[in-house]
Amino acid sequence: MLLAFQGAVAQGVLWGIMVLGVYITFRLLDIADLTVDGSFALGGCTCAVLIVEHGVNPWLGLLAGLCVGVLAGGVTGLLHTVFDIPAILAGILTQIGLWSINLRIMGKANIPLLKNPNIFSDLGKASGLTQNIATIVIGSLVAAALVALLYWFFGTEIGSALRATGNNEDMVRALGVDIRMTKLLALMVSNGLVGLSGALVCQSQKYADVGMGTGAIIVGLAAIVIGEVLGRTLPGKLRSFSSRLIAAVVGSIVYFLIRAIVLQLGLDPNDMKLLSAIIVALALSVPVVWSRYQLKRAYSKGGVA
């Protein structure tokens, strides 16, 4: 049981980096970017091929995963901003294309990394830590560094313009900002984080698979909503931007802990995608239903008065 929970926390931290990417597009731009499913696998597949077939240092493999994720986001961004293709459709087109590209990169459906060193095994050998603990340590350090970097970036002029684009495009355009560039940048940064997460997960699970990103967007949305729900119970209620970023990573950890608990209770692993969809649907719909109930109740009281 303890080992399963450690594994869930480890995976939650690594996937939490992907959730940070989804947060940028979903919460800041109000776009459910389906490129994520493809760019996650792209980062993992690229990292695996470089390590196994070319003997590249695992850390450089992470950098490569980040770079190819940026390129994938750039493709979606160009389709959306230059050719005026709706964002969700642009993401679908890129995701479909990446399936074939990932197969081309690997040359087969999956690549094992069992005989190759990775950043987690290297830390484990050097410190004597178990695989799960080493994953938690490295994942937490990377996630913390990225949260700090994103907090700084979104406080800059271009970062503030990017955040403002999601709130009011017309206002940002009136201020002379090219919203096409801000959207393109947001999609590139987002998918860069997703690709990095895919590379980390690839090294952690010691294999890359062409379908490893399937359902990643659902995991990201579920983690974001869970993090926000947890944040509402805190005194500060996620008022600062940094706390929202941290909540996204925490939501990912909680999501994987929920999965681990459910699996320990005997749920068929094949039903996990259905469970994820139900979690997201409930988390998104319950606040809406509750607000409508509160509004109706307020009107009723007003009418009585």
Do 219 and 18 form a contact (C-beta atoms < 8 A)?
yes
Q: What's residue 91's pLDDT?
A: 96
Q: Cα(115)–Cα(128) distance, rounded to whole angstroms?
A: 19
Return the amino acid letter for 81: T
Per the model's pLDDT, the better-predicted residue between 241 and 62 turns out to be: 62
Report pLDDT for 303.
Answer: 53
Q: CB-based contacts of 33: which residues, under 8 Å, 6+ apart?
A: 22, 25, 26, 73, 76, 87, 88, 91, 187, 190, 191, 217
Q: What CA–CA distance (Å, rounded) separates 187 from 219?
A: 18
Tally Cβ neighbours within 10 Å of residue 107: 9
| Residue with more model confidence, 6 or 234 | 6
pLDDT for residue 8 is more than 80: yes
Confidence tier at 235 by pLDDT (50, 70, 90): low
pLDDT at position 50 is: 96
Is residue 162 scored above 70 in pLDDT? yes
Specify the pLDDT at position 296.
Answer: 87
256 Cβ contact partners less than 8 Å away, ≥ 6 residues apart? 8, 9, 11, 12, 15
Q: Looking at the predicted structure, is the pLDDT value of residue 238 above 70? A: no
The yes-or-no verdict on residue 237 having pLDDT over 90 is no
102-139 pLDDT, tens per residue? 999 999 999 999 999 999 999 999 999 999 999 999 99
Local structure of residue 114 (DSSP, 8 states): T
Amino acid (1-letter code) at residue 105: I
- Tell me how far apart the alpha carbons of residues 110 and 193 are, in angstroms, rounded to a whole number: 22
Query: SS3 for 229?
Result: helix
25 in Cβ contact with 166 (< 8 Å): no
Which comes out higher in pLDDT, residue 238 or 71? 71
pLDDT at residue 304, rounded to an integer: 47
Higher local confidence (pLDDT), 304 or 297:
297
Residue 209 belongs to what H/E stretch? strand 207-209
pLDDT band at 234 (very low <50, low <70, confident <90, very high): low
Q: Is the dihedral angle over the CA atoms 107, 43, 182, 166 positive or is it negative?
A: positive
**Which of 228, 179, 238, 184 shows the shortest CA–CA distance to 25?**
184
* Amino acid letter, residue 82: V
Return the higher-pLDDT residue of 135 and 31: 135
Q: How far apart are CA 186 and CA 163, in angstroms?
A: 9
Q: Does pLDDT of 38 surpass 70?
A: yes
Q: Other CB atoms closer than 10 Å to residue 168's CB: what's the count?
A: 11
Number of residues written out for the chain: 305
Residue position matching structure tokens 């040359």: 107
What dotted CATH number matches 2-304?
A: 1.10.3470
φ, ψ dihedrals at 16, nearest 5°: -60, -30
Dist CA 249 CA 151 (whole Å): 14
pLDDT band at 14 (very low <50, low <70, confident <90, very high): very high
pLDDT, averaged across the chain = 91
58 close to 51: Cβ distance less than 8 angstroms: yes
Confidence of residue 195 (pLDDT cuts 50, 70, 90): very high
Q: Which amino acid is at 112?
A: P
Band the pLDDT of 305: cuts 50, 70, 90: very low
Question: How far out from the chain centre does Cα 11 lie?
Answer: 12
Is the pLDDT score of 72 beyond 60? yes
Q: Which two tokens stand for residue 288?
A: 């809406």
Backbone torsions φ then ψ of 130, nearest 5 degrees: -70, 165
